[in-house]
Structure 1
Amino acid sequence: MSRPDWLENPWKQNPWFESVAVAQRRAQKRLPAPVYGALVAGSERGQTIHDNQAAFAEIGLLPHVAGHHADRAMSRTVLGHEVSLPVLISPTGVQAVHPDGEVAVARAAHARGTLMGLSNFASKPVEEVVEACPRTLFQMYWTGDRDVMVQRMERAQKAGAVGLIATLDWSFSMGRDWGSPEIPERIDLKTMVRMAPQVATKVRWLRQFGPRHIPDLTAPNLAPPGGSAPTFFGAYYEWMTTPPPSWEDVAWMRETWGQISGTPFLLKGVARVDDARRAVDAGVDAISVSNHGGNNLDGTPATIRLLHPIARAVGDQVEVLMDGGVRRGSDVVKALALGARAVLIGRAYLWGLAANGQAGVENVLDVLRGGIDSALLGLGLSSIDELTPETLIVPEGFHVS
């Protein structure tokens, strides 16, 4: 076996990283400021995005000193598919941090035995992503009229998507206390000249794209049949100008997808027990307790605070997932103990993608897998199936219902 090139050249950075935090620091060094700023941005004062991570630190784990298990299991069936670890890829928009974008993420998900979530605001077509990861869930916002949404569902089904994620939690909060990063509508010569001072120092990031791989800021999965893909801002405008959905619309979306595909339907963005019950009434197969990664209504509690009451209310009727703030394997363990079937990650894998492409995403999943395993070992458990709320030390008043 050949030695890694970074061992041959000690001055070359080891591409492997030991934590998501290290991946984030590498991504910050590698990416132009506007690109990095778009990834870390939260709405308004950033209260929710901060709490998403900080809340995990309030929960404790009490380890055993002996009686540990040599083998520990973390596979689980989620949305009808067995995954090797209870961590799924959450759909995120235009992934211009790497030229392979969502395709690289999909390959990593497939290599590590988990499910891929693809945003309909993605920069790569659903057909390419499903080819890279056959177990891909297609995500849709409520945009356009019903005929347009049916056309997009049919395209996803024809491509081979194994489920649909409906993301409906969006209040279009624009104001950020630190200002919004500049995101151009398209990358052309004029834009490149104007933004040159911000990207000229990011030589490694520029080199990986090369002259033939200019970052794509279009949304190909929103292209009409035979038409061209809208720009990200064109897609965003359609989203903002579409009247918000009712619960009857959610039921229609679920029923329509069932007729087209017959595969699972997940409603993402649930933050209240009463909404979770309405989702059950609408016929969904699963929900994700989510606050849009802190990019929605600022002041929404961390999702880990919301999880247990929701899981207790509807967890025997639908699968309950959670996303928001997961950065460590111990975070995953805490979420599972409080009732999540699995978690979805967003920014965590984007840091890995920015730091080292497909291998970086695989690295993030390996970091989380190792952290889950370490937590199970310390807790004296042989499987994630043994996790319960009693496994944790949860402060009084932590849960929000």
Structure 2
Amino acid sequence: MNPWFETVAEAQRRAKKRLPKPVYGALIAGSERGQTIEDNQKAFTELGFAPHVAGPIGERSQATTVLGQSVSMPVLISPTGVQAVHPDGEVAVARAAAARGIAMGLSSFASKPVEEVIAANPATFFQLYWCGSKDDILARMARAKAAGAVGLILTLDWSFSHGRDWGSPEIPQGLDFRTMLKFAPATVIKPRWLTTYLKSGTLPDLTVPNLVTGDAKAPGFFAAYGEWMGTPPPDWADVQWVVDNWDGPVLLKGVIRVDDAQRAVDAGVAGISVSNHGGNNLDGTPAAIRALPAIADAVGDDIEVLLDGGIRRGSDVVKAVALGARAVLIGRAYLWGLAANGQAGVENVLDILKGGIDSALLGLRKTSIHDLDRDDIVVPQGFVRDLGSPVAPTRSLDAAASS
């Protein structure tokens, strides 16, 4: 089989074919009935383009800056937890991102130490959950800063889903002999995935080394998860406390309402990501792209607005940028590439997105990603979700779409 694939959908197909069912299930899972994860993708299909028939067709630029980092295109790696799809995990993703000139987001629940990941890609943002005591959080921030992290991603959008319609993925707390026997039927039928690990001389690592400092033992994923869910949620004063104690830009991830975006500005964050945690937060939350325009209108002149959720094509990136996003973050797309072909697979996914962005720019007759605006997008009536606006806009996108 040719290792190169031409679409993110093909990367997903290969990942499903290669991965044991429990591992693949962890990648596709959304909360409860999956209404939000489905809407994240469906919403992009409702948006159209309004291309010009003539205009500039020369070289097109996708370069931009995000939170002080120069990137080759408006795409960043979103932080995702333990990446057991490949033995090189986050280090392979970081190398791929560096090779393609984009920034890396590293989860505090990652399977690789922050030091190793930053060595692979100096343009790395460290993601932080509100987990444990403030002393614990300060220690993690200090470790990330000492390692060279260029910024902080504070993720606050999370609720506990007690049930998923297709069944929650079965993830072991650790890998001992008894556990390996239990999961053997699911792994022996996926010999290529198992062989990749055997060749590396390792087994999937289900610990989270970035939650500890010094010589402390890294906790298992579920122990870390339990600490996170057992920590009282932060308030806006806590968000400002993080900003005050981090020397650099802070991106607040998980904003879906205008009033929360405005509070984020007041708290001093440098940017926000309009996000519903990839469909893993409160099911029934609208697609991020539906909430983006109102939020960009409200705070886009004050802070950088990013988006994550449902990005599968370069044209999706262009739609998000045209509707007000500085850039997007991708999650499942690069994990499927990692599962399909390691670092090269992640680079493959990034090349697909870059090619799709270029094609859309050509069709719209734009020479730069910065030339995109809302006139390039066909927005259907009723598409936009303006959540938490204190005052209704004088002219909404829906009104513009119907005029």
- TM-score range normalised by the length of the shorter chain: over 0.9
Deviation of 1:181 (Å): 1.2
Q: Which moved more, 1:174-183 or 1:60-69?
A: 60-69
CA distance in 2 between partners of 1:46 and 1:215 (Å):
27
User: What is aligned with 1:379?
Assistant: 364
SS class of match (1:165): strand
2:129 corresponds to: 141
Tell me if structure 1 keeps the 8 A contact 2:50–2:375. Answer: no
Query: For 1:89-109, what per-residue CA distance to the aligned partner results, in whole angstroms no more than 9, with x for missing partners?
Result: 000000000000000000001
- The answer as to 2:223 corresponding to 1:234 is yes
CA deviations over 1:337-389 (Å, ceiling 9, x no partner): 00000000000000000000000000000000000000000111111111111
Amino acid at match of 1:246: D
Deviations 1:56-109 (A, max 9, x none): 000001323333412111100111011000000000000000000000000001
Structure 1 residue ranges, 4+ long, deviating more than 6 angstroms after superposition: none
Provide the residue aligned with 1:22 in structure 2.
10
Rounded to whole Å, the distance in 1 between the matches of 2:187 and 2:56 is 50
1:313 counterpart (298, 308, 315): 298
- Which region of structure 1 is more displaced relative to structure 2, 157-166 or 216-225? 216-225
Residue 216 of structure 1 aligns with which residue? Answer: 205
Q: How many residues align?
A: 385
Aligned-pair Cα RMSD in Å:
0.8
**What is aligned with 2:34?**
46
Question: Tell me, what secondary structure is at the counterpart of 1:344?
Answer: strand
Amino acid at match of 1:256: N
Deviation at 1:189, TM superposition (A): 1.2
Of 272, 282, 295, 1:297 maps to: 282
- Mapped to 1, the partners of 2:146 and 2:213 lie a distance apart of 15
TM-score relative to the length of structure 2? 0.95
Query: Counterpart of 2:122 in 1: which secondary structure?
Result: coil
What secondary structure is seen at the aligned counterpart in 1 of 2:245?
helix
| 1:156-235 equivalence runs, <5 A | 156-210=144-198, 212-235=201-224
Between the aligned partners of 2:321 and 2:51, the Cα distance in structure 1 is: 17
Note the residue ranges of structure 2 that are not aligned, 5 or more in a row: 387-403
| Whole-Å separation in 2 of the counterparts to 1:366 and 1:214 | 30
Picking from 372, 375, 378, the partner of 1:393 is: 378
Corresponding residue number in structure 2 for 1:7: none
Alignment match of 1:246 (pick from 230, 235, 240): 235
Q: 1:105 aligns with which of 76, 93, 101?
A: 93
Q: What pairs up with 1:249-288 in 2 under 5 angstroms?
A: 249-257=238-246, 262-288=247-273
Number of the residue aligned with 2:399: none
CA offsets 1:247-299 (integer angstroms, 9 cap, x no match): 11111011111xxxx22100000000000000000000000000000000000
CA distance in 2 between counterparts of 1:72 and 1:188 reads: 52
- Gap regions ≥5 residues in structure 1: 1-12
Partner of 1:128: 116
Q: CA deviation at 1:29?
A: 0.1
2:79 partner letter: P
**Residue type matched to 2:236 in 1?**
W
Following superposition of structure 1 onto structure 2, how do residues 21-100 of structure 1 map, counting pairs within 5 Å?
Answer: 21-100=9-88
> Is the Cα–Cα contact under 8 Å of residues 68 and 378 in structure 1 kept in the other structure?
no
1:344 and 2:360 aligned = no
* Residue 325 of structure 1: aligned partner: 310
Of 361, 379, 395, the match for 2:346: 361
Distance 2:176 2:18 in 1: 22
TM-score of the superposed pair, with normalisation by structure 1: 0.95
Per-residue deviation at 1:206? 0.3
Give the whole-Å Cα distance in 1 for the aligned partners of 2:310 and 2:74.
15
The aligned amino acid for 1:235 is A
